[in-house]
Amino acid sequence: MAVPDFQSFMLPLLEAVSDGKEYNLSEVVDKLTEQFQLSDEDKKELLPSGRKTRVDDRVGWAQTYLRKAGLLERTGRGKFRITERGLEVLKSNLDRINIKFLRQFPEFVEFQNLSRQNTKLDVETESESLDETPEETLEASYQDLRRNLAQELLDRVTKCSPRFFESLVVDLLVAMGYGGSRKDAGQAVGQSGDGGIDGIIKEDKLGLDVVYIQAKRWEGTVGRPVVQAFAGSLEGQRARKGVLITTSQFSQDAKDYVSRIEKKIVLIDGEQLAQLMIDHGIGVAEVATYTVKKMDLDYFGEE
């Protein structure tokens, strides 16, 4: 089954610590993943940032919400336990605890109001069946902005001149650590045109190995024949590594082909090209930076 939303974890979490003992989050996560019979794939599923598993994030936020409502209390560094209020809630034999239920507690309402002072979100209109944690919502919004930006970049790249596209490829490769200096890379890419090869670039600043480049603004899907011809060009140069860049996409047959041959050929399609441009600051400008912080429990070492 998929990882439940964080509200679905609230009641099981409270029940899991109902013995009054101290727990840390990892212990509770282990209990709940077993209770919900989550698969290994579910347990390993990451948030878009790749820094935290989805189940850790959702159980963590369930614990935070229960604590803000006074049903749990912090007892030490990373430790918590159920409170008398939490035990009273369990005596009610509830089927579910959710945000709507927690709003009966003044401490939780105060917590929500403080959280929304800068977002202007109406508490009464918040969905009772909210699936995403605040961190997931933030990451989802970021990914939406990134996807829209990537599409804008790709649209612009497909309209630029071949000469500008070559310069863009050089800028990107240098930003990624290839090619040595910008001057060296600029002299290498766009100068060859020999047998399907548009350029040769250093793999590292010392030039211990080289990578052969083909970069084209194709409109249709790039199939196996194009990729196979590029591989043949590498063979003619006795080269071992190549990068094939397109503004469109590669067919599945082309992808399967490079996975089977001995030579190392990396295929970069238009979507990946745009994402790499964003990652390495090519053709984009920073508008705002948001730093998400968490409490440093090491600072409060006396607890």
Q: With bands split at pLDDT 50, 70 and 90, how would you rate the model's confidence at 125? A: very low
Count of structural domains within the chain: 2
**Residue carrying the six token digits 């008398």:** 84
Kindly state whether residues 83 and 162 are assigned to the same domain.
Answer: no
Report the percent of the chain where pLDDT is more than 90.
48
Helix (H, G, I), strand (E, B) or coil at 271: helix
Strand partners for 243: 213, 266
Residue carrying structure tokens 């607890």: 303
Does residue 122 register a pLDDT over 70?
no
Tell me the residue range of the domain where 17 lies.
Answer: 6-119
Over residues 28-34, mean pLDDT: 96
The predicted model gives 175-189 an average pLDDT of 71
127 has pLDDT over 60: no
CATH code, 19: 1.10.10
Q: What is the end-to-end Cα distance of the chain in Å, rounded?
A: 38
User: Do residues 31 and 99 both lie within one domain?
Assistant: yes
Does 73 score more than 70 pLDDT? yes
CA 142 to chain centre: 9
Predicted TM-score of the model (pTM): 0.67
Q: Which of 302 and 253 is assigned the larger pLDDT?
A: 253
Mean pLDDT of 21-33: 95
124, pLDDT greater than 50: no
Per-residue pLDDT tens digits for 234-286: 888 788 888 999 999 999 999 999 999 988 999 999 999 999 999 999 999 88
CA dist 235 and 223 (Å) reads 19
What distance in Å separates the CA atoms of residue 241 and residue 287, rounded to the nearest whole number? 37
Residue 285, domain member (yes or no): no
